[in-house]
Amino acid sequence: MSVNEQNYKAILAKTETAGATLVAVSKLKPVSDIKALYDLGQRDFGENYVQELAEKQPQLPDDIRWHFIGHLQSNKVKYIASFVHLIQGVDSERLLVEIDKQARKNGRIIDCLLQVHVAQEETKFGFDGGEVTALLGRIGSGVLVLPNVRVKGLMAMASFTEDADQLKQEFTAMKALFEKSFKPETSDLKLQTLSMGMSGDYELALECGSTMIRVGSLLFGARG
């Protein structure tokens, strides 16, 4: 099997010690690899592409929790709305509104994370801190009514660098935004998830307060 069992056990142990959740990122990997990791006990899997996820999901056990971690186009929400467990990369209000609509059609409430742009790289995806605060304010005050989505937290991708100081600065900024954004006593939003950390930086992310890491290549090997 082409799953690295030793890495899996080691990463899982570190994740559990930190009280966090490990999402195994299986994009571009075959169903047989996912099944192999499933047989070792893994239940949370992350995928980046709608069509790929929609094809894999029916071939695999029903108790897998599928996380959508890529950029999601509004017109594709309908293909995953019936089964997706957590949509992590919500990067616009328009997308959130569409998820609410598709969730309602399926008689579900879909959990979402807002993607925050913290990295140095230029990207068109993700909110900045001020936009997160504004959007949560509109939901919390009932200006924006989305009964079929639950915003459970934040997701971020740090800079693509080995500079530990830079990464630490970004993770720490995310943690601060996470804690500031959701004050349970003043808001009925339950912010429970801070998703950050990948194969190259998950240990540092856990140290900085991540509650969910997304690890692919250390578990399944390099992609393509």
Ligand X SMILES: *Cc1c(COP(=O)(O)O)cnc(C)c1O
- Please list every residue from 202 through 221 that binds ligand X, using CB under 6 A: 214-217
- Tell me: does residue 50 bind ligand X (CB under 6 A): no
Q: Measured between alpha carbons, how far is 216 from 136 in angstroms, rounded to an integer?
A: 30
- Tell me: does residue 181 bind ligand X (CB under 6 A): no
- Tell me: does residue 196 bind ligand X (CB under 6 A): no
Q: Which of 18, 69, 146, 177 binds ligand X (CB under 6 A)?
A: 69
Helix/strand/coil for 204? helix
Q: Which of 33, 199, 203, 209 binds ligand X (CB under 6 A)?
A: 199
Comparing CB distances to ligand X, the nearer of 146 and 216 is: 216
Beta-carbon contacts of residue 111 (< 8 Å; ≥ 6 apart): 85, 86, 87, 149, 150, 152
Q: Give me the DSSP letters along 178-191.
A: HHHH--TTT-S---
**What residue is closest to ligand X based on CB?**
216
- Tell me: does residue 7 bind ligand X (CB under 6 A): no
Q: Which of 198, 206, 208, 212 binds ligand X (CB under 6 A)?
A: 198
- Please list every residue from 155 through 174 that binds ligand X, using CB under 6 A: 157
* Min dist. Cβ of residue 44 to ligand X (A): 12
Per-residue exposure over 120-130, b if at least 16 CB sit within 10 Å of its own CB, e if not: eeeeeebbebe
- Tell me: does residue 153 bind ligand X (CB under 6 A): no
Q: How many residues does the chain have?
A: 224
Give 186: exposed, middle or buried? Use CB within 10 Å, 0-12, 13-18, 19+: exposed
Beta-carbon contacts of residue 174 (< 8 Å; ≥ 6 apart): 116, 118, 154, 156, 194, 196, 208
* Min dist. Cβ of residue 213 to ligand X (A): 8
Query: Residues interacting with ligand X, by CB under 6 A?
Result: 25, 27, 48, 69-70, 157, 198-200, 214-217
